[in-house]
């Protein structure tokens, strides 16, 4: 049987050997179950986080923990909002507690190097809280554990942005919901799950600089996307994905060398 990077594929004995004797980095993918327009699947975020974690784990000899598929509540101005069917969110307290518990368990079993790879914009500050609490509690109990948290799409090379958004302009990561970036990456990694005949070309939403409760569904384009994925291609996906894989790999090598 070929050796896998997925914790779920390993026996307890093999997992134990990898994280203790080999001191492997345990990578925890965290995503979301969220609408991504008519053309992308609900699992886009957690599947991409898992893909990134696996590729980075292969490069650094790491192990990928069972993914945390659900994520923080979708915000209207960054994820299209919580009101669409299929957008299945955790509240902040649940997400913080869930991630903290998983990190503490991984450390309790002997891992000293843990990375949290995030693909859902709204998770950010709640993952920060979970990582901070877990590390602090471990430190107080005398455990030497280092945790790295990363939203891989946070930094994109300017020359890549020029190629990807040629003639269009980068709308910003907050509006990259179901747009060129996510659609292209999915075309490269999970082509069978993308339906390009369903991509719509709507103008960018003109959000006011505030939020309102209850949410106003009229703020969000009909498809649920916040920018158009019309110009997405598999080649753009390859460019972005390979850049992010290299970035995650080098950051983890840097912090865990
Ligand atoms: Zn997404």
Encode pLDDT of 86-103 as tens digits: 999 999 999 999 999 999
Q: Which residues surround ligand 1, an ion (CB under 5 A)?
A: 44-45
Distance 54 CA to ligand 1 centre (A): 18
Whether 45 sits among the annotated catalytic residues: the reply is: yes
Whether 242 sits among the annotated catalytic residues: the reply is: no
Q: What DSSP letter does each residue of the chain carry, written as one string? A: ----SBGGGS-HHHHHHHHHTS-PPEEEEE--B--BTTTB-TTHHHHHHHHHHHHHHHHHT-EEPPPB---BPPPHHHHS-TTSTT-BPBPHHHHHHHHHHHHHHHHHTT--EEEEEE--GGGHHHHHHHHHHHHHHHHHTT---EEEEEEGGG---HHHHHHHTTTT----GGG-SSSHHHHHHHHHH-GGG--GGG---PPPP---SS--SS--GGGS-TTS-SS--TT--HHHHHHHHHHHHHHHHHHHHHHT-
Encode pLDDT of 230-246 as tens digits: 999 999 999 999 999 99
Q: What is the domain partition of the chain in residue ranges?
A: 10-205+217-255
Whether 120 sits among the annotated catalytic residues: the reply is: yes
Encode pLDDT of 67-77 as tens digits: 999 999 999 99
How is domain 10-205+217-255 classified at the architecture level of CATH?
Answer: 3-Layer(aba) Sandwich (3.40)
What percent of the chain has a predicted confidence (pLDDT) above 70? 99
Whether 218 sits among the annotated catalytic residues: the reply is: no
């Amino acid at each position: 049987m070929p050796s896998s990077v997925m914790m779920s594929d390993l026996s307890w004995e093999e997992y134990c050997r990898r994280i203790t004797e080999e001191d492997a980095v345990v990578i925890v993918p965290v995503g979301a179950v969220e609408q991504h327009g008519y053309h992308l699947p609900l699992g886009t975020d957690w599947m991409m986080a898992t893909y990134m974690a696996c590729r980075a784990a292969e490069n650094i000899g790491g192990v990928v923990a069972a993914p945390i598929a659900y994520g923080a509540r979708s915000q209207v101005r960054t994820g299209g909002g919580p009101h669409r069917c299929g957008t299945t969110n955790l509240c902040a307290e649940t997400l913080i507690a869930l991630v903290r518990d998983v990190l503490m368990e991984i450390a309790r079993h002997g891992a000293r190097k843990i990375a949290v790879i995030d693909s859902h914009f709204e998770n950010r500050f709640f993952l920060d809280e979970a990582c901070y609490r877990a590390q602090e509690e471990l430190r107080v109990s005398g455990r030497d554990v280092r945790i790295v948290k990363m939203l891989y799409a946070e930094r994109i090379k300017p020359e890549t942005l020029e190629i990807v958004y040629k003639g269009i302009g980068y709308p910003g990561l907050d509006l990259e919901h179901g747009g060129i970036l996510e659609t292209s990456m999915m075309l490269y990694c999970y082509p069978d799950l993308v339906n390009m005949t369903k991509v719509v070309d709507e103008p960018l939403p003109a959000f006011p600089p505030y939020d309102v409760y209850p949410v106003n569904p009229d703020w969000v384009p009909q498809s649920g996307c916040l920018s158009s994925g019309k110009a997405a291609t598999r080649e753009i996906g390859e460019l972005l994905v390979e850049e992010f894989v290299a970035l995650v790999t080098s950051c983890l090598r840097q912090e865990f060398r």
